[in-house]
């Protein structure tokens, strides 16, 4: 646990909110015209996929917010 607060956490939270907003607007703008003619049973998995796709880079982003590095710390460094 750190003793001093770091600038990365508030900046990271703001970047996450801004990034998710842009991602949501992009998906809501560009995806419907491409799949509007599809049956709802085929549209649902596409929206589900894009609904969870943003989670892929989230782990490394949260690691950066906490440690300042993009990769997880080595197990030897934890102890």
By CB neighbour count within 10 A (0-12 exposed, 13-18 middle, 19+ buried), where does 71 fall? exposed
Q: Domain span at residue 47?
A: 8-71
Between 71 and 32, the more confident residue is 32
Q: Quickly state the pLDDT bin for 58 (edges 50, 70, 90).
A: very high
Instruction: Report, as an integer, the average pLDDT of 59-73.
Output: 88
Asked whether residue 3 is domain-assigned, the answer is no
Weakest-pLDDT range from 9-18, 46-55, 61-70: 61-70
- For residue 14, CA distances in Å to 38, 40, 57, 60, 74 come to 36, 34, 16, 16, 28
Asked whether residue 64 is domain-assigned, the answer is yes
pLDDT higher than 80, residue 11: yes
Asked whether residue 55 is domain-assigned, the answer is yes
Asked whether residue 77 is domain-assigned, the answer is no
Write out pLDDT tens, residues 21-45: 999 999 999 999 999 999 999 999 9
Task: Give the count of domains, the chain.
Answer: 1
pLDDT higher than 70, residue 17: yes
Asked whether residue 78 is domain-assigned, the answer is no
Q: Mean pLDDT score of the chain, rounded to an integer?
A: 90
């Amino acid at each position: 646990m750190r003793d001093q607060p770091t600038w990365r956490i508030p900046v990271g939270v703001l970047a996450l909110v801004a990034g998710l907003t842009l991602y949501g607007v992009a998906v809501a703008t560009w995806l419907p015209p491409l799949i509007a003619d599809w049956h709802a049973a085929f549209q649902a998995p596409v929206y589900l996929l894009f609904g969870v796709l943003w989670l892929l880079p989230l782990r490394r982003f949260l690691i950066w917010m906490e440690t300042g590095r993009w990769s997880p710390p080595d197990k030897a460094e934890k102890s």
